[in-house]
C-alpha cells in the first residue's frame, strides 16, 4: 500500500462547520484563529479575557440546533451533494456543529460554503431561523483525506466518535 496518493484531489474531505457563537476564542477547550491554524500545532490556550471579549462582539446569541433544525440541515447538505454530484460518505449534524465526509474532484472550500448557504436558506425557508440570525461561524475545517484508511477513520469519527476526542490523522 502506498503512503501517498499522487492524484490531484484527495480520496475525500472531512468538512466541519460550527454554529455561530458556540466555541469562542479563549474557550477552555482551546481554539484556533487565523494566525494559529496550522495542522498539528497547538491550539490557543484558555483565556477568559479573550473569551469574554469575543462574547461581547457577537451580533446575537449563540445558535444551537434542535432536532427539527438538525434534520433540515442534513437534508440541505444531502441536496447539495446530490445536485453537484458529490459523494456524501457520512454526515452528522450536531447541536453546535456539522461534520461531513465528502468525495469530489473539487476544492473543499466551495463545498463548505454551499453546505452553509443551502442549510441557512432551508432553515429560513422553514421558519426555523430568523432572517437576521447568522447561523454559522466564519469558515470551518476542511481536512484532506489522501489515503483510504484516513477516509475510513473520518467516517468512523463522524458517525461514532462524537465524544471528547477530536479527529486526528496521526497513527494511533
Answer whether residue 84 shows pLDDT above 80: yes
Q: Is 6 exposed, middle or buried (0-12, 13-18, 19+ CB in 10 A)?
A: exposed
> What per-residue confidence (pLDDT) applies to 143?
93
Contacts of 35 (CB under 8 A, 6+ apart): none
- Sketch the domain layout of the chain as residue ranges: 1-19+64-172, 22-57
- The mean predicted confidence, pLDDT, of the chain is 81
The 10s digit of each residue's pLDDT in 115-154 is: 999 999 999 999 999 999 999 988 888 999 999 999 999 9
CATH for 1-19+64-172 is 3.30.70.1290
> What per-residue confidence (pLDDT) applies to 52?
47
Whole-number percent of the chain with pLDDT over 90: 56
Answer whether residue 103 shows pLDDT above 90: yes
The dihedral through the CA atoms of 80, 82, 85, 90 has a sign that is positive
> What per-residue confidence (pLDDT) applies to 54?
55
> What per-residue confidence (pLDDT) applies to 157?
93
Answer whether residue 17 shows pLDDT above 70: yes
Contacts of 60 (CB under 8 A, 6+ apart): 20, 21, 132, 133, 134
Answer whether residue 38 shows pLDDT above 60: no
Amino acid at each position: 500500500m502506498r503512503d501517498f496518493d499522487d492524484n490531484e484531489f484527495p480520496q475525500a474531505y472531512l468538512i466541519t462547520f460550527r454554529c455561530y457563537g458556540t466555541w469562542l476564542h479563549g474557550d477552555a477547550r482551546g481554539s484556533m484563529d487565523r494566525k494559529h491554524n496550522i495542522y498539528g500545532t497547538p491550539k490557543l490556550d484558555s483565556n477568559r479575557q479573550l473569551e469574554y471579549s469575543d462574547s461581547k462582539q457577537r451580533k446575537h446569541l449563540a445558535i444551537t440546533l434542535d432536532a427539527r433544525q438538525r434534520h433540515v440541515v442534513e437534508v440541505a447538505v444531502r441536496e447539495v451533494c446530490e445536485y453537484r454530484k458529490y459523494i456524501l460518505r457520512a454526515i452528522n449534524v450536531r447541536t453546535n456543529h456539522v461534520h461531513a465526509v465528502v468525495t469530489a474532484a473539487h476544492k473543499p472550500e466551495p463545498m463548505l460554503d454551499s453546505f452553509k448557504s443551502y442549510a441557512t436558506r432551508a432553515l429560513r425557508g422553514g421558519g426555523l431561523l430568523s432572517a437576521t440570525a447568522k447561523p454559522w461561524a466564519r469558515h470551518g475545517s476542511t481536512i484532506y483525506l489522501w489515503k483510504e484508511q484516513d477516509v475510513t477513520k473520518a467516517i468512523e469519527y463522524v458517525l461514532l466518535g462524537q465524544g471528547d476526542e477530536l479527529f486526528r490523522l496521526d497513527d494511533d
